[in-house]
Amino acid sequence: MAHPSSIIQATKRLMEDLNQTIQSERKGPTVTTKPTRWEAPPQGKLKLNWDAGLDKINNKVGIGVIIRDWEGTVRASLRMNHNMFLDPLLAKAYAVFQASTFLKTLGWQNVILEGDSLQVFNSLKSSEVTNSYVGILLRDTKSILDSFTNWSIKHVRRACNSLAHALCQDTLSISDSTVSFDTIPFCIQTLI
């Protein structure tokens, strides 16, 4: 049984949430549109897009990461695959962890991360940590990102994440990890 003070605190939070909802409904609906194609970061920043794909037959996860600058120039890419349990959320969490590790290795500190997993986005924005494989990966990802000078994360539509998606799909057909710098991998050349 919960302590009365914790019940009171929970009730207060619920009332505050209810009041905020009522206030926002009185203001009327706000219409926000997400971009439908990739947008360059502000000058001086880099943008990293990541994605993960699953190969259910071979129990592999493919990870695709692409880093571009404010002019849209590809600065680096990462393609890697890993044998692991085929859970889509776990795969996306593993992909963003590998993406942040890749960034840290490169020493790039001023970055915007974009991915099409709303669950990963919400978890990285939240201060809550769950004791699951996904929660542990995302906690470690936050720890890496918090060591950067400046970082932010955005949830985007798949259309804005098409290069990372193509990279992770291509990764499922190769046997090793591939890193490239200042070159466009063949598998995405027609998409740029």
Contact indicator for 185, 76 with CB cutoff of 8 Å: no
**pLDDT tens, 160-173?**
999 999 999 999 99
**pLDDT tens, 61-89?**
999 999 999 999 999 999 999 988 789 99
pLDDT of residue 30: 43
Phi, psi of 40 (to 5 degrees): -70, 150
Q: How much of the chain exceeds pLDDT 70, in percent? A: 82
pLDDT at 184 over 60: yes
Claim to verify: residue 93 and residue 24 sit in the same structural domain: no
CATH number for the domain spanning 171: value is 3.30.420.10
pLDDT of residue 99: 97
Claim to verify: residue 16 and residue 91 sit in the same structural domain: no
Claim to verify: residue 88 and residue 165 sit in the same structural domain: yes
Claim to verify: residue 118 and residue 181 sit in the same structural domain: yes
pLDDT of residue 28: 44
What's the chain's average pLDDT?
Answer: 86
Token pair for 124: 């990285």
Claim to verify: residue 9 and residue 95 sit in the same structural domain: no
The answer to whether position 129 is within a domain reads yes
Claim to verify: residue 103 and residue 184 sit in the same structural domain: yes
Token pair for 5: 């003070």
Could you give the CA distance from residue 142 to residue 111 in angstroms, rounded to a whole number? 14
Q: Where are the alpha helices (DSSP H) in the chain?
A: 4-27, 88-106, 118-125, 133-146, 162-171
The answer to whether position 155 is within a domain reads yes
The answer to whether position 116 is within a domain reads yes
pLDDT at 52 over 60: yes
Claim to verify: residue 120 and residue 27 sit in the same structural domain: no
pLDDT of residue 31: 43
- Mean pLDDT to the nearest integer, 103-113: 94
- Mean pLDDT to the nearest integer, 6-27: 55
Claim to verify: residue 100 and residue 21 sit in the same structural domain: no
Token pair for 9: 């605190």
Residues in the chain: 192
Q: How confident is the model at residue 29 (pLDDT cuts 50, 70, 90)?
A: very low
Contact indicator for 115, 49 with CB cutoff of 8 Å: yes
Could you give the CA distance from residue 95 to residue 168 in angstroms, rounded to a whole number? 9
Claim to verify: residue 21 and residue 60 sit in the same structural domain: no
Claim to verify: residue 173 and residue 92 sit in the same structural domain: yes
E-only strand ranges, 39-105: 46-55, 60-68, 74-83
pLDDT of residue 27: 47
pLDDT at 92 over 50: yes
**pLDDT tens, 114-141?**
999 999 999 999 888 788 999 999 999 9
Our count of domains for the chain comes to 2
pLDDT of residue 1: 54
- Report the b/e string of 131-161 with b at 16+ CB within 10 A: eeebeebbbebbebbeebeebebbbbeeebb
Could you give the CA distance from residue 138 to residue 135 in angstroms, rounded to a whole number? 5
Could you give the CA distance from residue 165 to residue 62 in angstroms, rounded to a whole number? 9
Domain residues for 14? 1-31
Claim to verify: residue 27 and residue 51 sit in the same structural domain: no
Claim to verify: residue 50 and residue 25 sit in the same structural domain: no
